[in-house]
Amino acid sequence: ITDKVAELGPQDPFFSFEFFPPKTENGLRNLYARLSRMSLLGPLFVTVTWGAGGSTAHKTLDLAATCQAELGLTTCLHLTCTNTSKEVIDDALTKAKKAGIRNILALRGDPPREGVDPEHHGHFQYAVDLVSYIKAEYDDYFCIGVAGYPEGHVEGADNSDQDMNSDLPYLAAKLNAGADFLITQLFYDTDKFVHFEQTVRSHDQIKNKDILIIPGLMPINGYNIFQRASKLSHASIPDSVLGRFSEDIQNDDDKVKAIGVDILSEMVSRIHDKTGGRIRGFHFYTLNLEKSIAQIINKNKLLSEVLRKKEEEELKENSSSSD
Ligand code: FAD
Q: What mean pLDDT is reported for the chain?
A: 94
Model confidence pLDDT, tens digit, residues 201-246? 999 999 999 999 999 999 999 999 999 999 999 999 999 999 999 9
Residue 307 phi, psi dihedral angles, 5° rounding: -65, -45
Q: How many whole angstroms from 127 Cα to the centroid of ligand 1?
A: 6
Indicate if the pLDDT at residue 275 is higher than 80: yes
Contacts of 284 (CB under 8 A, 6+ apart): 15, 16, 17, 18, 216, 217, 218, 219, 293, 296
Specify the pTM: 0.96
Q: What is the predicted pLDDT for the residue at 155?
A: 80
Beta-bridge mates of residue 19: 48
Q: What is the predicted pLDDT for the residue at 284?
A: 98
Instruction: Tell me which residue has its CA closest to atom 24 in ligand 1.
Output: 109
Angle formed at CA 286 by CA 58 and CA 302, multiple of 5 degrees: 135
Is the CB of 78 inside a 6 Å radius of any atom of ligand 1?
yes
Is the CB of 187 inside a 6 Å radius of any atom of ligand 1?
no
Q: What is the predicted pLDDT for the residue at 320?
A: 83
Indicate if the pLDDT at residue 122 is higher than 70: no
Q: How many CB atoms lie within 10 A of CB 205?
A: 12
Q: How many whole angstroms from 23 Cα to the centroid of ligand 1?
A: 24
- Output the DSSP codes for 216-237: EE-----HHHHHHHHHHHT---
Q: How many CB atoms lie within 10 A of CB 108?
A: 23
Q: Please, are residues 200 and 148 in contact by the beta-carbon 8 Å criterion?
A: yes
| pLDDT bucket at 119, cuts 50 / 70 / 90 | confident
Residue 288: closest CA among 43, 55, 66, 33: 33
Indicate if the pLDDT at residue 157 is higher than 90: no
Contacts of 212 (CB under 8 A, 6+ apart): 1, 2, 5, 180, 181, 182, 281
